[in-house]
Structure 1
Amino acid sequence: MQRENANFPNAFVLLGFSEFMWMERPLSAVVLVSYILTLVGNSSMIFLFLVEPTLQMPRYFFLNNLSLLDLCIICTIVTQLLANLWGSDKTIAAWGCITQLYVYTLAGCTEWILPAMITIDHYVAICQHLQYNLIMHPWICVQMAAASLSSGLANSLVQATLTIQLPLCGYHTLDDFCEVSLLTKLACGNTTPNDIALVVGAIPLGMMSLLMVIISYIFIAGAI
């Protein structure tokens, strides 16, 4: 692709496995099978949760949310990967790149927090089992999932928006897909605000989730 300076180019080149052209066809078959299995598996979990009353419990509710996030990621990233493996055109349009950027950041940040919510459910089920139905009320579970999604959305809006405003210089090529750290490497301007946003937004969320998991399992181990 022609070398240029722009706030955000019209397209990017996704290198992928371009250096190993002979691998693309066999690899596309493997990716396609994995893609279908993942779609069927996550869709089946969501369907069973909706139609089977015995599965409509907090633990399965949060797993259902994880399945939805997985579907969002594979539908935006793996679909483009398959298109690149099957064809000679390795480019992705600007709107597709921006979609990947926002969806991947949103899903990734939310998936950091949801495991902590699942751990809280385990803690209440084991350590507060007599009050489990009262504490883990369906509306409380919805609020916990909404808080996870809201945190991921806020982090995604800040990081992705700052990223697409960077002036990108040179050859607009990416190894895999449109992601914050990869796009930041293409910037020819000051990336300090982006680095600060990444530290302020991502690290506290990850550390908070990890800390909640550790504390919950300490109490669970003590109860057992």
Structure 2
Amino acid sequence: TRHQRKMILGNLSGLSEFRLLGFSGISHLHPLLFVVLLSLYILTLMANTVIAFIIKSDNSLHTPMYFFLTQLSCLDICYLSVIIPTILENLMVGTVSISKTRCAMQMFFFLFFGVAECFLLAAMSLDRYFAICYPLHYTIIMSSRLCRSLVAGSYICGTAVGLVHTLITFSSPLCGSAIDHFFCEIQPLLDLLCGSTFPSEIQVIVVAVFAILSPFLLIIYSYIRIISTILHMASAESQEKVFSTCSSHLLVVTLFYGTAGSMYLRPKYSYCAAVDKFLSLSYSVVTPLLNPIIYSLRNKEVKRALKKKWRKSKLVWK
């Protein structure tokens, strides 16, 4: 009856806890997934920590490119640490109960670090664009002040997007408590909103255009200009080296922005829990693992600094 519906809605509007269903459909794979994700998490934390430490301790790596790489490593550590512990808990105990406050904080910090990374990757592509296309003016253009401003701008954009989505989502009346996901993502929470979700869907898409599509287009433009400049290089060896670097960067960028865009740049009726979980894993777990491998560990200067540090540590232990 109408009275009962009002009572139910009244109870849910005062909801203080959610249930994260996680991977309930494949419970037989939970032990395997737990081992794989825990291993990837530890590996990614170690790789990013080592990279940040090596860059900080080697004076020859105190350049704009490595400054951005340090920021990327720190972001990836934070980004993963927001959601991986919840996923591991879910795989251990099944359905996880999460308070409304913790859920809101998880959504905010996930968006904050994720959007900051979107803009930081765009800043890194600009850095490479100026380094390759304007080598004589590079040191003047990419001053330490501009580098710090680009990083600060990335964090400001992350804060703005995180606050907008979190405040709007959690100030709306909710008509359910079961989230069919492994952390507090926007899309599964939209399913719990009472009444029409169309305004919220539009808000998600508009913000995604700003936070995902805009940086991605800037990256593509930068790499088109970089490739155009490379083609005019006389040395075939130089061309091959820069092409190799650009192609690996573009691979990671396409994976990150492509999966995130597929998640956020579409209407609610096309949501599918199984597909959305796969997409979320791609941009929240796989990309942070690939970043240190593609951007840093394939880099000759970083490898040289690692070998140097390794030789020093061996001498100390002897």
TM-score by length of 2: 0.65
Instruction: List gaps (5 residues or longer) in structure 2.
Output: 1-7, 231-318
Q: Does residue 33 of structure 1 match 2:31?
A: no
Greater RCO structure (CA 8 Å; 6+ sep): 1
Match of 1:210 among 195, 210, 216: 216
Amino acid at match of 2:103: C
Larger radius of gyration: 2
Q: Does residue 62 of structure 1 match 2:54?
A: no
Distance in 2 (CA, whole Å) between partners of 1:53 and 1:68 is: 19
Q: Does residue 159 of structure 1 match 2:187?
A: no
Number of residue-to-residue matches in the alignment:
223
Aligned to 1:10: 16
Distance in 2 (CA, whole Å) between partners of 1:183 and 1:124 is: 41
Distance in 1 (CA, whole Å) between partners of 2:217 and 2:79 is: 26
Matches within 5 A, 1:43-122: 43-87=49-93, 90-122=96-128
Identity value in percent? 35
Q: Does residue 141 of structure 1 match 2:147?
A: yes
Amino acid at match of 2:134: Q
Distance in 2 (CA, whole Å) between partners of 1:42 and 1:34 is: 12
Matches within 5 A, 1:162-173: 162-173=168-179
On the 8 A contact 2:20/2:95 being kept in 1, the answer is: no
Amino acid at match of 1:141: C
SS in 1 for 2:119: helix
SS in 2 for 1:6: helix
Per the TM alignment, residue 11 of structure 1 is displaced from its structure 2 partner at its CA by: 1.8
Match of 1:124 among 117, 125, 130: 130
On the 8 A contact 2:24/2:94 being kept in 1, the answer is: no
Distance in 2 (CA, whole Å) between partners of 1:138 and 1:179 is: 35
Q: Comparing both structures, which one devotes a greater share of its residues to helix?
A: 2
On the 8 A contact 1:14/1:175 being kept in 2, the answer is: yes
**Structure 1 segments (4+ residues) deviating >6 Å:** none
Distance in 1 (CA, whole Å) between partners of 2:87 and 2:9 is: 24
Amino acid at match of 2:104: I
Distance in 1 (CA, whole Å) between partners of 2:207 and 2:93 is: 37
Per the TM alignment, residue 89 of structure 1 is displaced from its structure 2 partner at its CA by: 5.6
Distance in 2 (CA, whole Å) between partners of 1:191 and 1:175 is: 18
Distance in 1 (CA, whole Å) between partners of 2:87 and 2:111 is: 18
Structure-2 change in CA distance of 1:87 and 1:162 (3 Å): same
Structure-2 change in CA distance of 1:5 and 1:54 (3 Å): farther
Distance in 2 (CA, whole Å) between partners of 1:15 and 1:172 is: 7
Structure-2 change in CA distance of 1:9 and 1:46 (3 Å): farther
Instruction: List gaps (5 residues or longer) in structure 1.
Output: none
Distance in 2 (CA, whole Å) between partners of 1:89 and 1:183 is: 16
Amino acid at match of 1:211: L
On the 8 A contact 2:15/2:177 being kept in 1, the answer is: no
Match of 1:177 among 172, 183, 206: 183
Amino acid at match of 1:96: R
Amino acid at match of 1:120: L
Distance in 2 (CA, whole Å) between partners of 1:217 and 1:89 is: 44
Please tell me the root mean square deviation across aligned C-alpha atoms, in Å: 2.1
Cα deviations by residue, 1:10-49 (Å, 9 ceiling, x for unpaired) = 2221212223333222221111111111111111122222
On the 8 A contact 2:22/2:182 being kept in 1, the answer is: yes
Distance in 2 (CA, whole Å) between partners of 1:88 and 1:207 is: 35
Cα deviations by residue, 1:67-94 (Å, 9 ceiling, x for unpaired) = 2222122212101111222235622222
Structure-2 change in CA distance of 1:9 and 1:44 (3 Å): farther
Distance in 1 (CA, whole Å) between partners of 2:176 and 2:142 is: 52
